[in-house]
Structure 1
């Protein structure tokens, strides 16, 4: 049964000052916008954010929240992998322990307390995406702005630790051995309420990260 809690606060457009190494993300977004022949206003309207915020992001003066970034790249027809990594075809079907790419869950914030180990290397031809999420104690979705939505469906399997999985207006407490499956169009996220790190395997289609 779900454990009910108070609803997260309403979304905001607060943004952090970007590290110097991350301003190129704004240039990539601007290039994609121009390629799609969209004005800042058109993209802002479709991504449901402000034109001034988009301008700051493109010019490297602000970082979007994860939810805002997902909305922007969805309009531009991009995935997080396309935005932050290069296509990579492994030599074979096996990916060895210790050799897989590990990224922060929010690529614009390298010191994020949640990291993602890619089980399936990014490639534009892939229909499936798989990763292991390592979530530090106290890390994860704190407000509704931290929840994301995207096309498709996904399943998560908890390997160790305890998590609160948020899907829509519900929160479910899950532990090692538990799993969750839902449509990705529903706002979702997770939070680690325990004293120890948690690990969850997430498989989704089509690729979004």
Structure 2
């Protein structure tokens, strides 16, 4: 199945304006200088300045490092629709997160099954991966993850090992293990992915 929603370029730009503003807000509320935060996440001060002013967008691993250094959650950085009373999220109305294709991992969008909200113990997305797409990474963080391949062929790279997966295959692992994934087939692939605690 093809992704239900496709973000337009203007939608993505608008989301990252919000991300840059929230990053700057979180940093200033913690009394951190650009230099201190850049040092904490392992990037240059000029790169962080470009992220905060919306001139460039961060990779997924960089977003994880920023959220950890700022004591926040990546989901807080993105505006999201909270559905009907925060309970039901209709097909076609769920938010799509598409990061910068040069640094986020080519050809990947995340469809929120559970939009981020304070108090959720779980985070759930459908990772849509275009042919030839792969995640940026590997990444590591606290928690546990489980996934179920909905369509296509996927390679899960976990702590240096490669697991080839197809429709109906599932996986589980501790999130502190370095992990990444890629589309190993000729067509689109989708993974139903759940992790706890919410980190994105």
- TM more than 0.5: yes
Q: Tell me the CA shift for residue 147 of structure 1.
A: 2.2
1:28 alignment counterpart: 22
2:109 alignment counterpart: 115
Count of aligned positions: 185
Correspondence 1:22-101 to 2 at 5 A: 22-86=16-80, 88=82, 90-91=84-85, 93-101=87-95
Gaps of 5+ in 1: 1-18
What does the per-residue CA deviation read over 1:60-93, in whole Å, with 9 as the maximum and x for residues that have no partner? 3333222122211211122221101247263364
Q: Tell me the CA shift for residue 23 of structure 1.
A: 4.0
2:189 alignment counterpart: 198
What does the per-residue CA deviation read over 1:134-180, in whole Å, with 9 as the maximum and x for residues that have no partner? 11110013xxx532222211001111111011112111111111111
- Summarize the Cα distance change of 1:87–1:36 in structure 2 as closer, same or farther, 3 Å threshold: farther
| 8 A Cα contact 1:134 1:197, kept in partner | yes
| 8 A Cα contact 2:147 2:194, kept in partner | yes
- Summarize the Cα distance change of 1:117–1:76 in structure 2 as closer, same or farther, 3 Å threshold: same
Q: Tell me the CA shift for residue 41 of structure 1.
A: 2.1
Query: TM-score w.r.t. structure 2 length?
Result: 0.81
Gaps of 5+ in 2: 1-11
Correspondence 1:171-182 to 2 at 5 A: 171-182=162-173
Query: TM-score w.r.t. structure 1 length?
Result: 0.78
Q: Tell me the CA shift for residue 24 of structure 1.
A: 4.4
SS in 2 for 1:190: strand
Equivalent-residue separation in structure 2 for 1:180 and 1:44 (angstroms): 34
Equivalent-residue separation in structure 2 for 1:69 and 1:34 (angstroms): 17
Equivalent-residue separation in structure 1 for 2:95 and 2:163 (angstroms): 29
Q: Tell me the CA shift for residue 202 of structure 1.
A: 0.4
Task: List structure 1 segments (4+ residues) > 4 angstroms apart after TM superposition.
Answer: none
| 8 A Cα contact 1:27 1:58, kept in partner | yes
Q: Tell me the CA shift for residue 103 of structure 1.
A: 2.6
